[in-house]
């Protein structure tokens, strides 16, 4: 279980800070800041701990629990911009570092995410398109706009059950009619 909210997280980027007084978006400065390898979501200590845990594990599925979406989701605009700067999309290089660790160690990465207010399933890929794992997240039609997004339910609330066997790791979402008593 990781902390992606408090311990070593750098301040998230804000789109508003990249608009000039004339209303133009400074995409060059934004892209440079987004690609800054020093920006951290986990921090060095937590990342080292995770790398050691993955390296020492011989189980089939490496289940990684954490708070925010890790899957890359860009808004289809010119230029394409990240959907959510509060999630791993706002820490692109930190995500690539984590994906590289998993890929190098040849692990079956299964990421569980919360704090999204929607149900999601993502095929996780690095910038080169190498598959590095899957993501399941709990509680608009975004799946047609965002490539690796396999499933999204942005209207219902409920819970998910993840079942792992030797041959597969799957997620089933169960929805409820109300979240009020």
Distance of CA 177 to the CA centre of its chain: 28
Tokens representing 55 are 């390296």
Radius of gyration of the chain (CA): 17
Q: CA-based angle 50:81:148, to the nearest 5?
A: 60
The model's pLDDT over 62-109, given as tens digits with 9 standing for 90+, comes to: 999 999 999 998 887 777 889 899 999 999 999 999 999 999 999 999
Across the chain, what does the average pLDDT equal?
A: 89
Determine contact, residues 157/176, Cβ cutoff 8 Å. yes
Q: Which residue has the higher pLDDT, 156 or 60?
A: 60
Determine contact, residues 134/109, Cβ cutoff 8 Å. yes
135: exposed, middle or buried (Cβ count in 10 Å: 0-12, 13-18, 19+): buried
Tokens representing 57 are 């594990």
The model's pLDDT over 158-173, given as tens digits with 9 standing for 90+, comes to: 888 999 999 999 999 8
Residue 166, phi-psi category: left (phi > 0), alpha (psi -120 to 50), beta (remainder): alpha
* HEC profile of the chain: CCCCCCCCCCCCCCHHHHECCCCCECHHHHHHHHCCCCCCCCCHHHHHHHHHHHHHCCCCEEEEEECCCCCCCEECCCCCEECCCCCHHHCHHHHHHHHHHHHHCCCEEEEEECCCCCEEEEEEECCCCCEEEEEEECCCCHHHCCCCEEEEECCCEEEEEEEECCCCEEEEEEEECCCCC
The model's pLDDT over 115-140, given as tens digits with 9 standing for 90+, comes to: 776 788 999 999 999 999 999 987 63
Q: How many residues does the chain have?
A: 181
Is 53 a residue whose pLDDT tops 90?
yes
Distance of CA 80 to the CA centre of its chain: 17
In this structure, which CATH number among 3.40.50.2000, 3.90.1150.10, 3.60.21.70, 3.40.50.300 belongs to the domain 15-176?
3.60.21.70
Q: Specify the pLDDT at position 164.
A: 94
Q: Bridge-partner residues for 74, per DSSP?
A: 82
Q: Specify the pLDDT at position 143.
A: 47
pTM value? 0.82
């Amino acid at each position: 279980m990781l902390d992606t909210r408090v311990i070593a997280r750098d301040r998230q980027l804000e789109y508003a800070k990249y608009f000039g007084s004339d209303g133009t978006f400074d995409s060059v400065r934004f892209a440079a800041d987004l690609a800054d390898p020093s920006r951290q979501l986990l921090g060095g200590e937590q990342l080292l701990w995770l790398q050691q845990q993955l390296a020492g594990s011989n189980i089939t599925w490496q289940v990684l629990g954490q708070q925010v979406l890790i899957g890359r989701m860009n808004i289809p605009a010119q230029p394409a911009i990240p959907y959510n700067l509060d999630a791993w999309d706002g820490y692109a290089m930190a995500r690539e570092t984590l994906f590289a660790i998993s890929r190098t160690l040849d692990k079956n990465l299964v990421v569980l995410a919360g704090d999204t207010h929607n149900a999601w399933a993502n095929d996780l890929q690095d910038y080169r398109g190498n598959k590095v794992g899957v993501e399941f997240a709990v509680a608009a039609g975004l799946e047609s706009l965002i490539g690796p997004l396999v499933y999204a339910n942005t209207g219902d609330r409920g819970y998910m059950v993840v079942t792992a066997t030797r041959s597969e790791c799957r997620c089933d979402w169960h929805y409820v009619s109300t979240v009020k008593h």
